[in-house]
Amino acid sequence: MTNERVRVLVVGTGLGGASAALFLARQGVRVLAVSKHRGTSPHPKATGQVQRTMELLRQGGVADEVRAGGAGHDAGLIIKVAESLRGRVFHTVVSQGDELDTPLSPERHGMASQDQVEPILVRRARELGADVRFRTELVSFRQDDDGVTARLLDRESGRTYEVRADYLVGADGHRSRVREALGVERDGRGTLSRHLGIVFEADLSDHIVPGAITLYYFQNPAFTGAFVATNTARRNVFTVELDPARESAADYPPQRCAELLRVATDVPDLEPEILETTEWEMAAWLSRRFRVGRVFLVGDAAKVTPPTGGLGGNTAVGDGYDLAWKLAAVLRGEAGDGLLDSYEAERRPYARLVVDGSFANYVQRFAPHLAGPDVPAPVDQHELTLGYRCRSTAVVIEDDDPAPMEDPNRPSGRAGFRAPHVQVEHGGKTGSTLDLFGDWVLLALDPAWRAAPVDVPELADPTGELARRYGTGPRGAALVRPDGVIAWRTTELPADPAATVSAVLDRVLDRAPAR
């Protein structure tokens, strides 16, 4: 039996696992990521990256490549609830011409799908030094006070071997073996419906808006389903809801699929080429724990959200990034174990908002018969992705405002919120404050702060926008975490700026003060 030693073992190489591996490797952490599958996902799902996700991918050096993966969808996004592609429209969610991007970020939305994004993340993780192994399955694991020992199976050779790691990340999907082994229970509405996904090829260019992501939710007398046109020529995806008490995927041979597609597209002579059919479950779950000792859950292992909202994959990337920078800080000896508790404290409430908001969308778009007082209110996507407030010991919040979000168009600059994008002059060039992040940064205009034990870039703020949006005034400062979240803010210049910042860092990083 071969024994190997790594700092972090990541189980699963989907969006969450691949992101965790990439951002750990980016910080020099020796990471092994394994997947029982032959490669990355071949399915064109989880399409779209919000601006916040693109900001994180920008740090990883892959934002431009991911955006290029969505090329061909430059004409915007169309989302409608309708009877069919040309039939009666019940509700328009997004119209062509609606502006998805905001001036709140230097990054534009991405329109790539999961089958395009995962290979980019895996390749970049390997470039940065991560070991990524496919056809490698987690058999079992055990943890103790000093680390985690996992037994892995090489599915090609049948050989088993052990890997010892300081920490284990469970990114192995909604049927997570890691979560089950930990005994972590889940709350939520559970299974909402079962669907048959049909990937097919047909020329529908005369029936959809060229260059636009076209997403229709169908409430048809013959079926309930959805349609999306991919950016691959002639390739489309259709999903139809199944009644599990009466039918399964086996009841949908190619001929029946083609008949449904003719109704859905309003093309009675359509002759689609059925490429693939997959049965899948739409559900809403939230794990009660995101951390158990030295083991963490990310992505669908931590929460399962209906795809009605497009935030499942985005949340997985955010999970991977958040956990990676915190693990790296602890492994480098820069932070105490308490910092790792902030992962669950910050990401679990966020996941709840995502699941609740997506369920509200599900009721509107798929299941209006479920409408009632127990359905959560819809969540504004810009507020959720750009205006969410992190609450944990890793931020110093000194106000009593309980709101989980704020309008990112009117940022307060308070601790816990994403640091606003502001154009500043730095090093003789004009650029975004977001380009300064990736490590601990203190944003301050008064030179007295430059003695602080973190990076304090020399900035010029000729318009006063920085001081206004961050709420620091001319003499204050804002301490920004590697993930671009404000950890602490002051409007005043203390007597000893360096000692003040050191004390704040000791507090948010859970480390003993230097003597």
Question: pLDDT by residue for the chain (515 residues), tens digit each?
Answer: 558 999 999 999 999 999 999 999 999 999 999 999 999 998 888 888 999 999 999 999 999 999 998 877 766 788 999 999 999 999 999 886 666 778 999 999 998 999 999 999 999 999 999 999 999 999 999 999 999 999 999 999 999 999 999 999 999 999 999 999 999 999 999 999 999 999 999 999 888 887 778 899 999 999 999 999 887 888 899 999 999 999 999 999 999 999 999 999 999 999 999 999 999 999 999 999 999 999 999 999 999 999 998 899 999 999 999 999 999 999 999 999 999 999 999 999 999 999 999 999 999 999 998 999 999 988 999 999 999 999 999 999 999 999 999 999 999 999 999 999 999 988 888 999 999 999 999 999 999 999 999 999 999 888 899 999 999 999 999 999 999 999 999 999 999 999 999 999 999 999 987 65
Closest CA to 171 of 317, 355, 326: 317
Q: Cβ of 39: how many Cβ atoms within 10 Å?
A: 12
Q: Which residue among the candidates 161, 167, 216, 217 is catalytic per the annotation? A: 217
DSSP string computed for 429-490: EEEEGGGG-SS-EEEESSGGGGGSSSB---EE-TTSHHHHHHT-TTT-EEEE-TTSBEEEEE
CATH class of 389-508: alpha beta
| Total H helices, total E strands in the chain | 11, 22
Domain 3-71+109-187+286-352 is found in CATH 3.50.50.60: yes
Determine the CATH number of domain 188-283: 3.30.9.10
Q: Domain map of the chain by residue range? A: 3-71+109-187+286-352, 188-283, 389-508
To which residue do tokens 């669950």 refer?
A: 344
* Eight-class DSSP state of 389: B
Strands 459-460 and 423-426: antiparallel
Q: Is 161 a catalytic residue?
A: no
Can you spell out the DSSP letters for 306-322? -STTS-HHHHHHHHHHH
Residue 169 · residue 292 · CB < 8 Å: no
Per the rule left: phi > 0, alpha: psi between -120 and 50, beta: everything else, 265 is: alpha
* Dist. CA 500–CA 494, nearest whole Å: 7
pLDDT at residue 44, as a whole number: 84
The answer to whether 190 and 31 are in contact (CB under 8 A) is no
Residues in CB range of 460: below 8 A, 6 or more apart = 424, 425, 426
Dihedral over alpha carbons 363, 402, 285, 114 (to 10 degrees):
80
What is the spatial distance between Cα 243 and Cα 261, in angstroms, rounded to a whole number? 18
